[in-house]
């Protein structure tokens, strides 16, 4: 296997993915030209038309990039807040069982409340611009951080806790030398999930809160209203690339850091 | 001099399970005492009580040793720390100044034959090596009384015999008293100068054997007829009461 040249190995591993893409593009063309009549082709414009009239036209592309930059900011700020809040809440909950019993149900409830129901309230409290978008983002991405961190903090064995007890460890030593280090892999696992959710949160927040600069979610709405389907496809594509990129960053970070942490690269 | 005295110790768990009743036990300085018994007889509970990890229901425990150590059933190493850093943990928790704790960790580390494995992480080490790290960590406290909770139970036979020889060398060298829990009779006889037999639940001490041979004991001792006669006697005492 290793004797094959690198380009051949890359082709073999990327082959199925490229093949699937080619098939999808083929299907797309087929539907555009064979299924849809001329007057309905706007519903699924062929790929080359999307690329020519939207992706390669700076007049169309520039507003999308601006909107995307704004959404990235919302997602990053939202994720940072979610991580800080989530880890903090888990650390507080792990201190005593009654704090966990008191706080955990509300964390679950926060996750299950439909964002749509909170929209009017958030609007009144935080306005209809950037802040509210960030809040939506935080609400959506908070729970995995809480639950994963808590799981990680609770992962040390009873014997490990006994070891700390026997050496008269303080609560603080137990937290920073045992529980938090043990939680690192779980925290990064949570970060991966939350990163993906924060992208969704940023786009959802965009569509609800439209004051000020428009984000990528807002643009999707505008393009739909104006039937600019070429632009709609490009915007969807950009939003997806954003999501994948965000996820990849944290997945890679997870692999590198957690791998180092235990002295070997996992998987 | 005594390091540990237990008088009429009983332990009943909140669930109502009676783990120990009326246990009397003395571990004198220079003693290496093993406790054998069927699984679930309360051997580990006995050790946890001695370590202060649990409270007695009745009776009295007096630890007269100025320092004790505890070796767990599992190596119980922190996976994110290197082997040497795991040994340094004890000093860190007890607030020993950095230079001193590093030196003491280094010393214990070399003593158990781990030189060269400082930077390895626990999951890169074999089961026997991990247990050596665990023992090194317990030696850092310079124990007068060392408690062992079936430390070699999970090791393969060859490693287990080697670790027994190693442990014997260590307690000769460091002159700590030992209280050793095991379910292996040959292990108990080979290591100890006294072997106590516990009955099944509720745990009581039902027999007390003196092991006559002087240390250091050669590994071949295990195949002598006197040795097998003694393990047979312990086994019979165990059989009578389980």
**Amino acid A89: pLDDT:** 93
Domain shared by A55 and A26, yes or no: no
CA-based angle B129:B134:B138, to the nearest 5? 145
Residue of A30 and B242 predicted with greater confidence: A30
- Give residue A241's domain range: 45-261
Put simply, the answer to whether B72 touches A159 (Cβ < 8 Å) is yes
Which domains, ranges and CATH numbers included, belong to chain B?
Answer: 2-67+143-240 (3.40.50.300), 76-142 (no CATH)
Contact B121 A262 (CB under 8 A): yes
A73 and A170 inside one domain: yes
Residues of B in contact with A174 (CB under 8 A): none
**A266 lies in a domain?**
no
pLDDT per residue over B103-133, tens digit each? Answer: 999 999 998 888 999 999 998 898 889 999 9
Q: Is the pLDDT of residue A258 over 60?
A: yes
Q: What's the pLDDT at B113?
A: 87
CB contacts of A188 in chain B (<8 Å) are none
* Binary contact (A262, B90; C-beta < 8 A): no
ipTM over 0.85? The verdict is yes
Task: Give A49 to chain B, closest Cα distance, Å.
Answer: 54
Q: How far apart are CA B8 and CA B61, in angstroms?
A: 9
DSSP state of B213: P
Residue A36 and residue A93 share a domain = no
The torsion region of residue B113 among left (phi > 0), alpha (psi -120 to 50) and beta comes to left
Cis peptide before B216 (omega within 30 of 0): yes
Flag whether pLDDT at B2 surpasses 70: yes
- Contact B176/B167 with Cβ under 8 angstroms? no
- Whether residues A171 and A198 share a domain: the answer is yes
Point out the least confidently predicted range of A78-87, A250-259, B170-179, B203-212.
A250-259
CATH code at position A228: 1.10.3720.10
Nearest to B76 among A157, A184, A264 (CB): A157
Q: How many domains does chain A have?
A: 2
Neighbouring CB atoms inside 10 A of A50's CB total: 21
Most confident segment among A43-47, A101-105, A213-217, B87-91: B87-91
Q: Give A200-235 pLDDT, tens digit per residue.
A: 999 888 888 888 788 888 888 888 888 888 889 889
Under 8 Å CB pairs connecting chains A and B tally to 55
Contact state of A263 with B74 under an 8 Å Cβ cutoff: no
A265: pLDDT strictly greater than 50: no
Whose CA is closest to A132, among A206, A239, A243, A242? A206
Please confirm whether the linkage preceding B202 is cis (ω < 30° from 0): yes
Partner B, chain A 124-163, Cβ-Cβ below 8 Å: 157, 159-160, 162-163
Residue B242 has pLDDT above 60, yes or no: no
SS (HEC) of A135-158: HHHHHHHHHHHHHHHHHHHCCCCH
Average pLDDT, chain B: 90
């Amino acid at each position: 296997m290793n004797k094959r040249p690198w380009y051949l190995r890359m082709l073999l591993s990327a082959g199925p993915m490229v093949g699937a893409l080619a098939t999808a593009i083929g299907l797309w063309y087929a539907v555009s030209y064979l299924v849809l009549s001329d007057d309905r082709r706007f519903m699924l414009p062929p790929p080359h038309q999307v690329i020519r009239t939207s992706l390669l036209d700076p007049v169309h592309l520039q507003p999308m990039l601006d909107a995307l930059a704004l959404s990235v900011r919302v997602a990053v700020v939202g994720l940072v807040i979610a991580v800080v809040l989530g880890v903090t809440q888990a650390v507080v909950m792990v201190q005593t069982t009654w704090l966990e019993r008191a706080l955990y149900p509300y964390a679950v409830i926060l996750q299950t409340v439909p964002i749509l129901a909170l929209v009017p309230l958030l609007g009144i409290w935080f306005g209809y611009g950037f802040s509210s978008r960030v809040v939506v983002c935080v609400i959506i991405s908070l729970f995995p951080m809480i639950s994963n961190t808590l799981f990680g903090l609770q992962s040390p064995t009873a014997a490990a806790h006994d070891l700390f007890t026997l050496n008269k460890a303080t609560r603080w030593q137990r937290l920073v030398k045992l529980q938090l280090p043990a939680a690192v892999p779980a925290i990064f696992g949570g970060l991966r999930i939350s990163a993906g959710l924060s992208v969704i949160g940023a786009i959802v927040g965009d569509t609800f809160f439209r004051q000020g600069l428009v984000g990528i979610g807002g643009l999707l709405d505008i393009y739909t209203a104006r039937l600019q389907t070429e632009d709609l496809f490009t915007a969807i594509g950009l939003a997806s690339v954003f999501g994948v990129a965000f996820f990849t960053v944290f997945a890679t970070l997870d692999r590198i850091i957690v791998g180092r942490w235990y002295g070997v690269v996992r998987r | 001099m005594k390091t540990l005295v237990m008088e009429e110790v009983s332990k009943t768990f909140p669930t109502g399970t009676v783990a120990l009743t009326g246990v009397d036990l003395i571990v004198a300085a220079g003693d290496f005492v093993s406790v054998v018994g069927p699984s679930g007889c309360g051997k580990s509970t006995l050790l946890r009580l001695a370590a202060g990890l649990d409270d007695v229901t009745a009776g009295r425990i007096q630890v007269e040793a100025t320092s004790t150590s505890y070796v767990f059933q599992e190596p119980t190493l922190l996976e994110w720390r290197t082997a040497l850093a795991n040994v340094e943990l004890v000093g860190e928790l007890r607030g020993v100044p950095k230079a001193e704790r590093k030196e003491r960790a280094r010393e214990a580390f070399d003593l158990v034959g781990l030189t060269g494995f400082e930077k390895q992480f626990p999951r890169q080490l074999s089961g026997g090596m991990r247990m050596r790290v665990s023992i090194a960590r317990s030696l850092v406290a310079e124990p007068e009384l060392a408690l062992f909770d079936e430390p070699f139970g999970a090791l393969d036979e060859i490693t287990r015999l080697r670790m027994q020889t190693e442990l014997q060398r260590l307690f000769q060298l460091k002159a700590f008293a030992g209280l050793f829990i095991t379910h292996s009779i040959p292990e108990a006889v080979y290591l100890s100068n006294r072997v106590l037999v516990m009955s099944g639940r509720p745990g009581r001490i039902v027999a007390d054997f003196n092991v006559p041979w002087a240390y250091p004991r050669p590994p071949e001792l295990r195949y002598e007829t006197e040795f097998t006669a003694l393990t047979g006697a312990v086994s019979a005492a165990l059989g009578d009461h389980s």
